[in-house]
Amino acid sequence: MDLGLDVEERDGFAVLSVRGEVDVYTAPRFRERLIELVSEGKHRIIVDLEGVDFLDSTGLGVLVGGLKRLRSHDGDLLLVCTQSRILKVFEITGLTKVFSIHDSVDAAVGGGSDGGATT
Amino acid sequence: MTDRELAGGVIELEIPARAEFVALARLVVSALASSDSTLADERIDDLKLAVSEACTNAIEAHDAAGSVERVLVRCQAGTDALEVCVEDRGHGFDPSDLPDHPPVTDPDRLKFERGLGIPLIRALVDEVEFSPTEEGTSVRLVMRLGPNGAGPS
């Protein structure tokens, strides 16, 4: 099973685009990539989940861990997600209130609340 | 094969207790669930996620117990429900012993990277039952079919 993890710079943010299925098998690679970015000094990270087909609680754990790590560096972790089946996982666990979730990378970079709050 | 010919049929899958096999369990269960036209796609996604969580817990239980036994996934398609049982042979656990998470507005919420699986399972399926077995734990997930399967209450 393939997990795609691509990074690009965008207006002071590192945008990590995730593709494929995030579960107990692939989550460790996702976690390592996030930790690498933080240790490279990238403290403002956007995780783009639009290419994710499946995400379970291990994936949520990686994101919660990433947010915690970034906040300890005065950074932030923003999410891009519009797929209802992925958003549902955040809604059930109450994590929509923890993460800033945006409709597009543009909206996340813009930082406004326009594209966010997909609750 | 029509949907109803599946009724009463049991499909058993034994997977090695390794992380890479959780995707296989998801695939088998969602293929079986898809063969019942009364189960909406959204509910199939819910079941797939619940199975993923149960298998992940089973594999972690095997890891913790140092068990090399396989995890059993048994699917039973009945006329009014689709049941999936995930049986591990690791240490048992008591789901009522799970710690409560702080509210999401509490900064301490971020200390919890784990423990989201069981609440997810409870929210996603119509019925869930955790039972101790001689060797470990059995998690029974039930999705009701047809008009009554409107989702967990």
Q: What is the pLDDT of residues B82-92, one digit of tens each?
A: 999 999 988 76
User: Which letter, b or e, does each residue of B1-33 get, where b requires 16 or more Cβ atoms within 10 Å of its Cβ?
Assistant: eeeeebeeeeeebebebebebbbebbebbbebb
pTM above 0.90, yes or no: no
| In-domain check, residue A114 | no
Selection from B19, B50, B17, B21 nearest residue B33 by Cα: B50
**Strand (E) or helix (H) holding A61:** helix A57-71
Q: What ipTM describes this predicted complex?
A: 0.89
Q: What percent of chain B has pLDDT over 90?
A: 54
Residue B40 in tokens:
């909406």
Tell whether B134 is within 8 A of chain A (Cβ): no
CA dist B113 → A2, A49, A114, B88 (Å): 23, 18, 29, 23
Number of domains in chain A: 1
Comparison of pLDDT for B98 and A82, the residue scoring more: A82
Restricting to B residues 26-65, those with a Cβ less than 8 Å away from any Cβ of A are 26, 42, 45, 48-49, 52-53, 56, 59-60
What range defines the domain where residue A59 resides?
3-108
Number of domains in chain B: 1
Whether A42 has a pLDDT exceeding 80, the answer reads yes
Which residues of A are less than 8 Å from B103 in CB distance?
A: 94
Q: Which of B59, B110, B117 sits opposite A68 (nearest CB)?
A: B110
Instruction: Supply angle C-alpha B149, B101, B43, rounded to 5.
Output: 15
Question: For the domain that residue B33 is a member of, what is the CATH number?
Answer: 3.30.565.10
Comparison of pLDDT for B27 and B36, the residue scoring more: B27
